[in-house]
Amino acid sequence: MQAIVSESAAPKPAPRIHNALKKQASRGDARPAPKATPKKRKTASFGTTLFGVLIAVGLVWGWFNRGAYITAESGLGYVLGIVGGVAMLALLAYPLRKHVRLFRLAGPMAFWFRLHMALGLFGPTLILFHANFSLGSTNSNVALWSMLIVSGSGLVGRYFYTKIHRGLYGKRAEARELMTEASQFRQTLDEDIGGDMKDRIDALEAKAFAAPKGMLDAAAKAFMVTARARHLHTQLRRAIKKNMKPAKRARNKAVIAEHRAHLAFSKRYFQRIEQAAELSLYERLFAAWHILHLPLFFLLIITASIHVVAVHLY
C-alpha cells in the first residue's frame, strides 16, 4: 500500500509513544497487535435502552394526561407518592454497598449500580405522576424541585461516568490501557503514514497522553486534541480511500479488504486518542460532581421528609 509522504518535508526522528509499547509487547507486557477489524464495544444493553424508552414514553403520556386520572391525596396518586419516595430512599443502597464493609457480601457492585441507575429514573417518574406534573403547596414544591435537581444532577453524573468507564457498566478506563490499544492500532496503520503526517500524529499522541496541570489545562487539551485528531483522521481516510481506487478498478478483493480494515483501524485509533485526551478532564469533572451531588441528595431527603410530615399532620 502507498504511504502518505510529503515531498517537501523529510521524516524527522520524532519520539513515538507506541515504540515503548512494542518493547513491552516483546516482554509479554502488552497484547499482540490486532489482526482483524475491531468490534465495536457495547455501551448499553437492550434492557437498559428499553427501560429508558419506557420511562420517556411514560413521562410524555403523563404530561399530556396530567390531572385526568390521579390525585395526590388519595388512591393511586397517594400510593405512587409512597412508592416513589421509597425508591428515592433506596438510592442509598448503592453507596452503602460501595463504602460500608458490612454490605460487601450483598452481591456484585454491577448489580447495585444498575439498580441505582434504574431507581434514579423510576422514583422521580412516580413522584411526577404523584404530583400530577404540576405545582402544589410550598413544602411540596420545595420537595419536588429538590428531586428534579437531584435527578438532573444524576443524569449529568451518568454522562461523566460513561466518559471515564468502558460504557455504562464497564470497568474504569486508564490512560495506560488506552495508550496500549492506540499503539496496537497504530502498528497496523504505519504503512499508511509517512512524512509530515507521521510527525503530526506523533505530536498528537504525545499531547493526548501528557498529564494536564489543572482543570483548565485538561479542558484545553481535550478540545485541541479532539479537533486535531478529527482533522488528521479525515486526511488519513481520504488517503486510504485514494489508495483503494486502483484495487477497485482491478477488482482485487484481498487488497480492498485490507484497505477497508485499515479504515476501521484508523477510526478506532483516533477514538483512543480522543478518549485519552478527554479522560483527565472528565475524571476531574466527575470528582467535582461527587462533591456537589451528595449534599443535594441529603437536601432532597430533608425536604421530602418535611413534606411527608406536613401532609400527614396538617
Is residue 218 within 8 A of residue 212, CB to CB? The reply is yes
Residues 211, 194 share a domain: yes
For residues 220 and 204, give the distance between their C-alpha atoms in angstroms, rounded to a whole number. Answer: 14
Residues 192, 115 share a domain: no
pLDDT at 220: 92
Beta bridge partners of 255: none
CB atoms within 10 A of CB 72: 19
Residues 234, 164 share a domain: no
Across 297-314, average pLDDT: 83
Asked whether the whole model's pTM tops 0.85, one would answer no
pLDDT digits (tens, 9 = 90+) for 142-187: 888 888 898 888 889 888 888 887 665 556 667 778 887 887 777 7
Is residue 218 within 8 A of residue 280, CB to CB? The reply is yes
Beta bridge partners of 193: 4
pLDDT at 83: 92
pLDDT at 7: 35
Residues 187, 213 share a domain: yes
pLDDT digits (tens, 9 = 90+) for 40-97: 444 457 777 888 889 899 889 888 887 777 777 778 888 888 998 899 888 888 888 8
**Which is more confidently placed, 193 or 215?**
215
Amino acid identity of 233? Answer: H
Residue 13 in this model has a pLDDT that exceeds 70? no
Is residue 189 within 8 A of residue 243, CB to CB? The reply is no
Nearest residue to 152 (alpha-carbon basis) of 292, 280, 50, 282: 292
Q: Which residues contact 229 (CB under 8 A, 6 or more apart)?
A: 204, 208, 270, 273, 274, 277
Domain count, the chain: 2
Residues 60, 164 share a domain: yes
Note whether residue 126 is domain-resident.
yes
Residues 194, 51 share a domain: no
Q: Is 41 helix (H, G, I), strand (E, B) or coil?
A: coil
Percent of the chain with pLDDT over 90: 8
User: Which residue shows C-alpha cell 452481591?
Assistant: 107
Across 182-205, average pLDDT: 77
Residues 74, 203 share a domain: no
Residues 183, 52 share a domain: no
For residues 37 and 265, give the distance between their C-alpha atoms in angstroms, rounded to a whole number. Answer: 7
Residue 24 in this model has a pLDDT that exceeds 60? no
Q: Which long-range contacts (CB under 8 A, 24 or more apart) does 37-43 make?
A: 37/260, 37/261, 37/264, 37/265, 38/185, 38/264, 38/265, 38/268, 41/166, 41/167, 41/170, 42/167, 43/162, 43/167, 43/168
Range of the domain at 230: 17-22+174-281
